[in-house]
Amino acid sequence: MNDHIIDAIYRVILERKANPTENSYTASLMHKGVDKILKKLGEEATEVVIAAKGGTRGEIVYESADLIFHLLVLLGQCDIPPEEVYAELRRRFGTSGIEEKNARDTPA
């Protein structure tokens, strides 16, 4: 498989969105709407924080995978392909985080 796993998962998420089935967790989450997805995303982010604070390496990896998955569901719900996030990361790459943040805070 030449695709990045994130891209492959995103394609499955879009497939579940376009062709929902009763036994699909992703389809049921998307059917409940963006507020439910945001709630799950927040829960998963909190679980990553808790795992990082006192968990094992395996717990951090596991919870991080959950967080990334739910972020991909949100992106799919909003029709934002991961490539747009990759492009933003590429744009920021090599720029000081402080410089990048200051540039965002400067009025246009």
Domain extent, residue 17, equals 5-82
pLDDT recorded at residue 105: 64
Q: What is the C-alpha radius of gyration for the chain, rounded to an integer number of angstroms?
A: 16
Q: Is 64 a domain residue?
A: yes
Question: How far apart, in whole angstroms, are the C-alpha atoms of residue 14 and residue 26?
Answer: 9
Answer whether 82's CB lies under 8 Å from 10's CB: yes
Which pair of tokens denotes residue 96? 């000081």
The band of 14, judged by pLDDT with boundaries at 50, 70 and 90, is: very high
If you ran DSSP here, which 8-state letter would residue 3 be given? S
Is 44 a member of any domain? yes
- Look at the chain and report how many structural domains it folds into: 1
- Check residue 1 and give its pLDDT: 43
> The domain spanning residue 41 has which CATH number?
1.10.287.1080
Given a contact cutoff of 8 angstroms between Cβ atoms, the answer to whether 85 and 75 are in contact is yes
Domain for residue 77, yes or no?
yes
